[in-house]
A and B are shown apart, each in its own frame.
Chain A
Amino acid sequence: MFVDAETIRLLWPEIILIAMASWIYIAGAFQPHRVWWTCFSLAVYGVVAYVLLGTESTMWSAETALVGISGPLRIDFLGFILRCFAVLVGILFTLIGARGSSRQLTSEFLATVMLLVAGLMLVARANDMVLLFVSLEMISIPTYVLLYLGRRDRANSEATIKYFFLSILSSGLFLYGLSFLYGIAGTTTLVGMMGQESVQAAAAGFVQEGGELYQAMAPIALVLLMAGLGFKIAAVPFHFYAPDVYQGCSNANAGLLAVAPKIAGVVAILRLLVVAMPWAADIGWQLAIVLAVLTMTIGNVCALWQTNLRRLMAYSSIAHAGYMLIGISVAFAFHEGTSASGGIGATLFYLLVYACASLGTFAVLVALGSKESEVSGLNELAGLAGQRPALAAALAVFMFSLAGIPPLAGFWGKLTLFSSAVNTATATADNASFAAWFTLLAVAGALNAAIAAAYYLRVVAKMYFRPAQGDLPANGGLGAQAAVVVCVVLVLGLGLFPRIAVQVTHLAEAAVAPVDPGSLSAAAAPLPRLAGDVQGSDDASWDR
């Protein structure tokens, strides 16, 4: 009845992060030494990673994707890989951002990032609407503070305020949607939602008494939740804040905005909309397709004539949200009876690939700037290849990956996404509208990839084929350079050996979707110990 020891044990990584963040807040007042605190927080992340891998990797094997529930948490492979990824994101941000923040604020910056990472890890685990919501807020609220700590001028304040208000609006929409969802399901647990008899009635075609309640409410719940989460992943028509906010804030913070809310938003969409609301899938896939096409197209087309780097990356992040929506629509369609699956796995894989490349890009920008002056204009990169060949090469790698040029990671990401859409189209050839829609989706995605290549290659061309206009300070610190190296390794690794990662994400997909309500009582059983089953090497391999 209480949150039992099992739940607490499963939350050790988060508890360590939160306790250490509080400690940094307190002790930072007495010991404002930047390098010391940076090393300290890196050590904390190391400990967290150790705990995470040590306690959890033993639970998974390559074949069995164990699903368990402990209190408000859900234990599955998706949660595991996302938690690992969250720790990685935390390490990268610690490296990227520590130098940029002012001396007195370093400890606050690091601790706030730590809380944000804890929020990300909780989102990956949440099996309860309330927990999911507060975890999402645990990403948003530290983000406001981080944006504010970043720089103190008018543009930054404006960006922060803009992000703050729109984020609150999106949280409001999300909550409103949750209230409808609760009205339909009568429970706050996501798995319980699938298991409720009333909801099963809704899924079974709305035949029983009271069934029309769900039929009537499903669309509005879905639309509101999609709107709330659409803000987080910057999908059209909720994208309009992104360019202004990215432009206004510092490079490190823009990187944060491009990655953290997106991971959380995509995970929440998968967990809440795709998996827990199978009875809303018939509206869901149509909505997702429309949003995907709009988001991709608007993002890519608007990015074409941007001259500010952060603005360009903002539109690029919008476009990538569109690609991810392709996978989400495929996942929705899976509930509608198509035999092809792979949507969730493809989305996750793309998410990882996008996050690595995007973080790497911002890490390069931070490394190129200094505390006094930040790189922001596209023209400032002209001739970079001559001055800083290594950083230019890294940036080129990230740009190629984002554009989806083989053999880099982005190519495989796009390939899995588009092929999942094509699979859905072909597998349901008997349903003409289905096939047509998903074929159209795949074509739109391919066209957009071509458009996107134009502006990514423009950046590369600027660096390699234009004469230098001035000297960039390139004084972003060792941390940023280390982050660049890590990201390059990840992007190249995922590009050269995509098989492992694709397998891992498909395993996660298999774990996340026990659609059969009959298996739920088994799922609700306490977590069995699989201590003897140590095959964690496969899962952890992508993390290195």
Chain B
Amino acid sequence: MIFAAMDWHAFFFWMFALLTCGFALAVLFSNNVVHMAFYLILSLGASAGLFFLAGAEFVGAMQLMIYVGGTLVLVIFGVMLTAQSRFVSMETRSGEWVVALGVGGSLLFMLMITAFNVEDWRSPNPRQGEVTVAETQVVSQIGLGFAGVRVDKLDQPDGQLRGGMSGYLLPFVIVSIHLLVVLIGAAYMARTKRRKDVSGGRS
């Protein structure tokens, strides 16, 4: 059976990885802003595939929903609304290329160093069959974590140590304050600038 014989996990990994990197490069080498945004969508979508493959279904679905389905819709929306003909095509000057290559290259270099410095990562895991992908039934656990209950720490024997593991209720609440401020700011930026004086005497 050809389907059974193939290493599907590896196949999908390479496929998603290549798609992610390829479209990321396409973002880089494209001159049209809308094309760039579109390639970014594809790149992020493929990285969501990588998350699914690693068993992190929740993260993958969130990647799709928040980045691909939420943020980038707004990006494309904004780009299309504001992109006049002279802004649609962005020519990158050679100086900018040099700077970008310097910054990006050094980051890549550091990441490579990091990756290759870890002994375990240099060769394939000898016990590959025993590796279990992440536990996938986690949605309610994550939800409870946001509500302040770390289900995974309930069996912590030391009662005093549990105090420091009190989930993420505070950050969760603080994020709602962020959203309040963002809404206030957005409302001021977008408010209708109008005045009662219909006759136009004061203008």
Contacts and interface: CB of A to CB of B under 8 A. Distances in A.
Judged by CB atoms under 8 Å, the answer to whether A and B touch is: yes
Interface of A: 1-4, 7, 11, 18, 22, 25, 69-72, 105, 108, 112, 115, 118, 122, 127-128, 130-131, 133-135, 137-138, 141-142, 144-145, 148-149, 180, 189, 191-192, 210, 212-213, 215-217, 219-220, 223, 521, 524-526
Given A112-B181, A524-B163, A122 B174 contact: yes
A180 B115 CA distance: 12
A310 B107 CA distance: 33
Nearest to A218: B114
A138 B180 CA distance: 11
B181 A141 contact: yes
A1 B110 contact: no
Interface in B153-187: 153-154, 158, 160-171, 174-175, 177-178, 180-182, 184-185
B188 interface: yes
B171 A4 contact: no
A451 to B, nearest CB: 28
A134 B178 contact: yes
A149 B188 contact: yes
A138 B171 CA distance: 10
Nearest to B186: A145
| B interface SS class | helix
Contacts of B113: 216, 219-220
B10 interface: no
A1 B149 contact: yes
Given A1-B148, A115-B181, A130-B171, A216 B118 contact: yes
A279 B174 CA distance: 30
What are the 8 closest A-B residue pairs judged by CB atoms, nearest first? A216-B117, A145-B185, A71-B166, A134-B174, A130-B171, A134-B171, A2-B148, A3-B169
B185 A148 contact: yes
Given A1-B148, A72-B170, A220-B111, 12 more contacts: A1-B150, A2-B167, A4-B166, A7-B170, A71-B163, A72-B166, A115-B177, A127-B164, A134-B174, A148-B189, A180-B114, A521-B158
Contacts of B148: 1-3
B184 to A, nearest CB: 6
From A128, A144, A189, A223, residue with most partner B Cβ within 10 Å: A128
A220 B171 contact: no
A438 B157 CA distance: 46
Contacts, number: 122
B166 A219 contact: no
Nearest to A140: B178
A133 B118 CA distance: 28
B122 to A, nearest CB: 10
A191 B165 CA distance: 11
Contacts of A108: 184, 188
Given A69-B164, A220-B111, A3 B170 contact: yes
Contact of A215 (B117, B161, B177, B182): B117
Classify chain B's interface size: 35 or more
B181 A142 contact: yes
B174 A216 contact: no
A524 B166 contact: no
B177 A219 contact: no
B98 to A, nearest CB: 15
Nearest to A223: B110
A144 B158 CA distance: 43
Given A1-B154, A134-B171, A212 B164 contact: no
Contact of A71 (B118, B170, B177): B170
Nearest to A522: B160
A131 B171 contact: yes
A220 B114 contact: yes
B67 to A, nearest CB: 13
Contacts of A148: 185, 188-189
A481 to B, nearest CB: 29
B66 to A, nearest CB: 14
A313 B167 CA distance: 42
Contacts of A135: 174
B170 A141 contact: no
B119 interface: yes
A2 B149 contact: yes
Given A1-B149, A134-B171, A18 B161 contact: no
B120 interface: yes
B142 to A, nearest CB: 13
16 contacts: A1-B148, A1-B150, A1-B153, A7-B170, A71-B163, A71-B170, A105-B188, A112-B184, A127-B164, A134-B178, A141-B181, A189-B165, A210-B120, A213-B118, A219-B113, A524-B164
From B114, B154, B158, B189, residue with most partner A Cβ within 10 Å: B114
